[in-house]
Structure 1
Amino acid sequence: MRMGKCVGISLLVALMAALTCVHAGAEEGTQAVTLQDVVVTATRTATPERAVGVSHTVITEEEIQARRAADVPELLRDVAGITLVRYGSQGAQSVVFPRGGENNYTMVMIDGVQVNLGGGDFYWETLSLDNIERIEIIRGPQSALYGSDAIGGVIQIFTKSGYGPPSVELSTAHGARSENGSYLGEQHLRVSGGNERMGFSVAYGRIDDQGALDINNDYWNNSLSARFDLYPKDNWEVTLTGRLNDSRYEYPTESVGDKYSPLDPDQYEREMDTVVGLSTRVQTTSWWENVLSVGYHRNDRKIEDPYNPETDYSSWRGEYDESRTNFDYHANLKASPVDWASSTVTLGYEHERETYEQESTDFTTTTLGADRTNDAFYAQEQLSLFKRVHLVGGARVEDNSAFGTEVSPRGSIAVDIHETGTKLRAAVGKGIKEPTFYENFADDAWTLGNKDLDPEKAVSWEVGVDQRLWSDRLTMSVTYFQSRYKDLIAYVPTPYPAPAVRTPNYFNVQEAESRGVELSLTVKPMENLVLGSSYTFLDTEVTDDGGLANIAFEEGKELIRRPRHSASGWIDWQWRRLRTFVKGRYVGKRDDADYRDWTAPKRVELKDYFVLDATMSYKVPVPAPLKDMELFVKGSNILDEDYEEVFGYTAPGASFMAGLSFRL
């Protein structure tokens, strides 16, 4: 629908123009620092936002509620510097490209526990928003604090804590897709409470989606999340968190998507993801804080593809089990020898063990089992001068059983000009990403892993300015960044005729670069109205293809599926009991790969597109014991835009849901 896209783009441009012209009404007084004014992930300490020198975004509970998103990927689409791509409808594989980096370049953490697979992959599509309080996105290499897989950034999810008298929250929503009337459903339940010595928050969620395709496209996801906080003493806190995701996604697509190949009626993927974290924080003295944490993550995934003569050469079955156990201790040492200077030194040690098991069956059965360990020491100095110049420097030394020893440094500066509401900032750092288990240890009829692989590396720098005006009713942020990626791991085919002794198929032979500009703008012209926008310009280039002539990684060309231009704009308006949230998202043209003819694959250009979503809710007056009740409706892609995020894969059309939520 080209007309729909033109109308949508016009709306988005008008919104962004309005944001630059709108004026604030009443003045706001100075507020004390709250959780929303603090960033934790950037330094591992609660740091005032004005002192953070790296580019970051915080998605608050209020923003999550306004959008009524089903999962985390839906929120990440609006973040500057993030490109999120989904291979079809809800439940399909979803990947994140941070600042043009690869889709396994973002470390993902839930309450301090890393949940990536070995080598950086993460299944975003199964991460629902149940019991999530806030999300922090830190852009650029963060390996100095977090090690391997934080090569392009860190996204950390924080679970809600319980407080106050026990309460129950319940939400139910039902709807349909426009393509075929397929059912959509979301059910959520949360129980929470707490006092000065303890708190608890337990939530369950269920998502059902019968899919945008007519054949074998159902998806369901069960999510159970819990958090327990204990405060034995005023200077001592203990937190136990856990999250369990159980999902099943039916997908009929083969190697070239659903548009250009027959659809498989039986193929599906089942996944169980488990996260458990235990941490304790003790303020031993006024200047010495101890933080100890233990984390466990396990991902069990099964793919079943029974034989169908129309689509398969044989039946296929694969089971993949990965786990990570993590132990971390760090001390925060604070000092303020003079009034105009303060320091926080962080010293830490981390031990990590990863395991991997794989079994696949087609004509034969292939198994693979391996494990890796990693020991790391890290140090960081945060120095603040005159309460306006904030310096951060640090480094991490990794000793990995697979790739050996690596050192990752970083540094940043933030200059806070109180009088004008301006913050100038700059950062530079190195990031690393370990190989996947398959790249290291594969040993089957087609592929031999390479145990001598180095980690992939990135060196990145950025400069930016943040501006607050009209008593913080208007906030703006502009960032320029450059990243260079080297030692990228590529599959190198076995030469023909094959040598007498097998040689590995993976080597560090490729390089790439990315550079760009990130803009974000938020305006609150009146107490009940918030307008926001973000824009990303991204320029990527393959600088060395390793001599492999791969169209998906072609020297001198852009990296595929990364648009040069992308933007979002939104309006959040409340009038009495009615709340309306409207969001538009534009994604520009970008290259992709067409593998319909495997003997002669080619590059194709995907068209730009615009998607418009809207949510409306109404608070219903209720008697006790009910505390709140809301009726809401939600529309996704309401202009029914026809587009592709990945070549050959159908993106979902319009869908609508209606629901009810209340609190006891």
Structure 2
Amino acid sequence: MRHLLSAVSILALLPGGAGAQAYYDLGTLVLSGGLTPVEGENLGRAVTVVSAEDIEERGLTTVHEALRALPGVAVNGSGDSFTQVRIRGGEANHTLILIDGIEAAGGDGEYILSGLETAMIERIEVLRGPQSVVYGSNASAGVINIVTRRATPGLTRDFTLETGAAHRASGFLAWRGERGGISLGLSHLHDLGYDNSGDGGERDEIRRSTAILSGDYALTDDLSVDFTLRRSREHYDYDSTSWMATDPDGYVVDDPTQFTDRDERTAGIGLTYEMLNGRLVHRVSLATTQNAQASNGAAPTHTRTDAAHYRLSFGLDGAPVESAAHLLNAMLEWEQDSSSSNPLYDRANTSLALEYRGEFGGVSLQAGARYDDNEVFEDATTWTLAAAYDFGGGWRLHGSAGTGIVNPSYFELYAAAWGYSGNPNLMPERNRSVDLGLEMPVGTNGTLDVTLFREVLTDEITAVSTGPGTYTYINQTGDSLRHGIEISGRTQVSDTLSLRMAYTWLQAENPDGSVEIRRPQHELALGANWAFAQGRGSLSADLRHVRRNWDTQFWGAYATVELPSYTTVDLAAQYDLTDRVTLVGRVSNLFDVEVMDVWGYAGRGRSAYVGLRARF
């Protein structure tokens, strides 16, 4: 099987693609909402979508920038080169990050966003709450699916150049005909960086280059093939930490010798076959993720995940799958991962998932269950139930409940270094969740969504001391409780002015009642977009306020301390010089506010950028 999956790179050179690829907004289709795409108005789960238009208008250049203003999402970084995402108070490795539906992290680790750019992104879908029925382990708190651009009808040629605090260049070349299309996206980033220690020392730079090749082709009226290939290479600098620090200034130390190199490769190929006039659809796909990371010139650590999927979709009411009011999905999945950090071990599981979706008047229902047969630790069963009710007039009630799991990591299972001993008897962490939300109209064409949620994490894995300088891992007794409220809204005030907002209140506690770190209790985002010069230009402003965020002070008493609150303002503008060329500019952290999301690490100060975007 591993040799077959390695051949994806060769097979992908054949004409192929997502035969039924569509172009849509949240009101039409959510790709990651179930085992097959779900109509947005029928989805009971909490979801936010950042579109390519949002990214362009707000001048967002990295994925972690795009995620910062979303409800229920906390983004923390020890500098821009090491950025983690936490959804609804879950751990960073409880959120599964996908790129075009393929796991971004190989092996057992979480994906660090770092310099991941928005240059070739069509949309970012963020589902909050457990998604393990569809995606298995590590989707316990939520899923982020980054969907890259695909070919649209005809020939497309786009180019972007930007300079300032960072230099960026990207190009997109694509063609689509009657039976399929192919696209190639290239991007390069050289972020001049800043001193992560905050001491005014050398800048910690990021250099990242990415290439994405994708395509689709209808072999017959009923059979289509699709593929995607992605390669990213990155080099970034970082600073040292001193475990012997006696004051805050001595903890994060400016160090020009520290650097890391990353090499990311993902590939996928799939066949889709329709029968019975589209009422029965078969989908077979293979995917591989192969990443390598090395620090300071040392031998790299290689991580890998290989997966094979078979999915059957059947319109129970006799209609084609894409329009069926009652739909049954079944999926059989095999997945294996490995890491060179533990070459004697790997992990594999075989999974079966079932999903039903039905529409009953104004009520939409989604229910599913999954069984994971794990080779090296306890098997797991997860379930989900979601519903939405459309009252009409823009009023919609939505809610969901379900469970999620996170498998133990290689280090937690098999550690034998730095004083740690692994525990091969660890069980997966388990999350139980429920949420309820109301979507309501604002003005003539705006919406406001208010969602309440509660999550309970059981069997949380933690390190415990076994003696002086020695540790192991256990499943904690008791529950880690997380609950809060998510509010998001958007309205078009006039033909030229639109407003947006998001607010999250979160209470996250460990089993002993102590506060969970790096999960702000209050996060507020306000934004506005103003169009001028008969639509040739636009100005966007974003305000972000963070308060009551906690982190561990890694010196002295190693106490949990509250980080300073902060408020930042970002501006972005664009103006069409011609029908094909646009001048763009932006300023981040306009008032040069001191920002700290991780204890001891300085956030980025005021930075300015200017560039051109051309489309042909």
Pair in the same fold by TM > 0.5: yes
- Check if 1:173 corresponds to 2:162: yes
Q: Is the 8 A contact 1:130 1:225 kept in 2?
A: no
Q: Is the 8 A contact 1:341 1:384 kept in 2?
A: no
Aligned-pair distance for 1:139? 0.5
Aligned-pair distance for 1:66? 1.1
1:201 alignment partner AA: S
Residue of 423, 427, 430 corresponding to 1:454: 427
1:487 alignment partner AA: D
- Check if 1:517 corresponds to 2:474: no
Q: Distance in 1 between matches of 2:92 and 2:143?
A: 13
Unmatched tracts of structure 1, length 5 or more: 1-31, 177-183, 306-316, 359-366, 499-503, 544-554, 623-627
- Check if 1:159 corresponds to 2:148: yes
**1:77-476 correspondence runs (5 A):** 77-88=68-79, 90=80, 92-176=81-165, 184-213=166-195, 214-215=201-202, 217-255=204-242, 259-261=249-251, 262-285=253-276, 286-304=278-296, 317=298, 319-336=300-317, 342-358=325-341, 368-386=343-361, 388-418=362-392, 420-444=393-417, 446-468=419-441, 473-476=445-448
Q: Is the 8 A contact 2:59 2:573 kept in 1?
A: no
Q: Is the 8 A contact 2:279 2:318 kept in 1?
A: no
1:453 alignment partner AA: L
**Change over 3 Å in CA distance of 1:68–1:201 after alignment to 2:** farther
Q: Is the 8 A contact 2:314 2:327 kept in 1?
A: yes
> Stretches of 4+ moved more than 6 A in 1?
none
**Change over 3 Å in CA distance of 1:81–1:596 after alignment to 2:** same
- Alignment partner of 2:240: what SS? coil
Aligned-pair distance for 1:482? 0.3
**Change over 3 Å in CA distance of 1:187–1:259 after alignment to 2:** farther
Aligned-pair distance for 1:253? 2.6
Between stretches 53-62 and 524-533, larger displacement belongs to: 524-533
Q: Distance in 2 between matches of 1:596 and 1:443?
A: 25
Note the alpha carbon deviations across 1:313-366, whole angstroms, 9 max, x for none: xxxx4631100001011111112279x9931011110000101102xxxxxxxx
- Check if 1:564 corresponds to 2:521: yes
Q: Distance in 2 between matches of 1:65 and 1:100?
A: 29
Aligned residues: 578
Aligned-pair distance for 1:211? 1.7
- Check if 1:661 corresponds to 2:613: yes
- Check if 1:578 corresponds to 2:537: yes
Aligned-pair distance for 1:80? 0.1
**Change over 3 Å in CA distance of 1:259–1:289 after alignment to 2:** farther
Q: Is the 8 A contact 1:592 1:606 kept in 2?
A: yes
Aligned-pair distance for 1:255? 4.9
Q: Distance in 1 between matches of 2:567 and 2:96?
A: 29
1:376 alignment partner AA: S
Q: Distance in 2 between matches of 1:265 and 1:34?
A: 46
Query: Considering only CA atoms, is the larger Rg found in Structure 1 or Structure 2?
Result: 1
Corresponding residue for residue 467 of structure 2 = 495
Q: CA RMSD in A?
A: 2.2
Q: Distance in 2 between matches of 1:395 and 1:155?
A: 21
Q: Distance in 2 between matches of 1:406 and 1:247?
A: 36
Q: Is the 8 A contact 1:267 1:303 kept in 2?
A: yes
- Alignment partner of 2:592: what SS? coil
Q: Is the 8 A contact 1:268 1:304 kept in 2?
A: yes
Residue of 635, 638, 647 corresponding to 2:587: 635
Between stretches 446-455 and 371-380, larger displacement belongs to: 446-455
Residue of 572, 580, 604 corresponding to 1:652: 604
Q: Is the 8 A contact 2:443 2:491 kept in 1?
A: no
Note the alpha carbon deviations across 1:276-318, whole angstroms, 9 max, x for none: 111222222231111221111011000118xxxxxxxxxxx46
2:225 alignment partner AA: V
1:320 alignment partner AA: T
Q: Distance in 2 between matches of 1:455 and 1:160?
A: 35
Residue of 596, 605, 608 corresponding to 2:555: 596
Q: Is the 8 A contact 1:465 1:478 kept in 2?
A: yes
Q: Is the 8 A contact 1:216 1:266 kept in 2?
A: no
- Alignment partner of 1:150: what SS? coil
Aligned-pair distance for 1:35? 4.3
Q: Is the 8 A contact 2:399 2:434 kept in 1?
A: yes
Aligned-pair distance for 1:514? 0.5
Q: Is the 8 A contact 2:486 2:502 kept in 1?
A: yes
1:260 alignment partner AA: G
Q: Distance in 2 between matches of 1:337 and 1:194?
A: 32
Q: Is the 8 A contact 1:274 1:298 kept in 2?
A: yes
**Change over 3 Å in CA distance of 1:603–1:404 after alignment to 2:** closer
**1:535-546 correspondence runs (5 A):** 535-543=503-511
Unmatched tracts of structure 2, length 5 or more: 1-21, 196-200
**Change over 3 Å in CA distance of 1:515–1:255 after alignment to 2:** farther
Residue of 48, 56, 74 corresponding to 2:65: 74
Corresponding residue for residue 506 of structure 1 = 473
- Check if 1:618 corresponds to 2:568: no
Aligned-pair distance for 1:525? 2.0
- Alignment partner of 2:93: what SS? coil
